[in-house]
């Protein structure tokens, strides 16, 4: 089953791009950014739901086996699903934190605010006085 194209952001160079992902081993969406970086995107909804259903079934079975006095282990499938869900969570967090390198809207960009130091050879007290004045001015209401 081919996956639909998605709008992705490269996790390495943060370039926004549109690509058709392929499935990785555990069902993650694999993409390649225009610069050639490999990008991993989270599970699709269907996979995530299937994983949670399976983990619930395995959990019920483990509880049932444990209740009958035996030692229950999740098995390879259960371990793989747990790894898949944990990685999915990590990738989703990572993807959610991504922001494109250049935004068209020109949003607020963090500008380093540094006081001009070298243009005046005067005393440093003048500079600190100015800073104090600024603070006082901003503290006034209105
Ligand atoms: Zn890239």
| pLDDT tens column, 91-105 | 999 999 988 876 555
Ligand 1 center from residue 16 Cα (angstroms): 9
Q: What is the pLDDT along the chain (142 residues), one digit of tens a residue?
A: 678 999 999 999 999 999 999 999 899 999 999 999 999 999 999 999 999 999 999 999 999 999 999 988 888 999 999 999 999 999 999 999 988 876 555 545 556 666 655 555 555 554 545 555 555 555 555 5
User: Is residue 140 assigned to a domain?
Assistant: no
Ligand 1 center from residue 17 Cα (angstroms): 9
Spell out the residues 6+ positions from residue 66 whose beta carbon is closer than 8 angstroms to its own: 72
User: Is residue 46 assigned to a domain?
Assistant: yes
> Residue 86 has what pLDDT?
97
User: Is residue 49 assigned to a domain?
Assistant: yes
Ligand 1 center from residue 86 Cα (angstroms): 24
Answer whether 0.85 is exceeded by the pTM. Answer: no
Q: DSSP string of the chain?
A: -PPPPEEEE-TTT--EEEE--EE-TTSEEEEE-TT--EEEEEEPHHHHHHHHHHHHHHHHHHHHHHHTT-----HHHHHHHHHHHHHHHHHHHHHHH---SS-TT------------TT--S-HHHHHHHHHHHHHHHHS--
Ligand 1 center from residue 41 Cα (angstroms): 13
Domains contained in the chain, number? 1
Ligand 1 center from residue 88 Cα (angstroms): 20
Residue 46 lies in domain: 6-96
């Amino acid at each position: 089953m081919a996956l639909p194209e998605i709008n992705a952001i490269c996790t390495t160079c943060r370039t926004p791009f549109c690509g058709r992902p392929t499935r990785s081993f555990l069902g993650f969406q694999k993409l390649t950014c225009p610069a050639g970086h490999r990008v991993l995107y989270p599970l699709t909804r269907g996979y995530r739901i299937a994983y949670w259903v399976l983990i619930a079934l395995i959990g019920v079975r483990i509880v049932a086996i444990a209740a009958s006095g035996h030692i229950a282990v999740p098995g390879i499938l259960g371990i793989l699903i747990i790894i898949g869900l944990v990685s999915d969570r990590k990738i989703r967090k990572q993807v959610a934190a991504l922001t494109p390198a250049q935004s068209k809207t020109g949003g607020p960009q963090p500008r380093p605010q540094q006081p001009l130091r070298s243009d005046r050879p005067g005393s440093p007290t003048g500079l600190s006085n100015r800073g104090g004045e600024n603070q006082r001015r901003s503290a006034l209401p209105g």
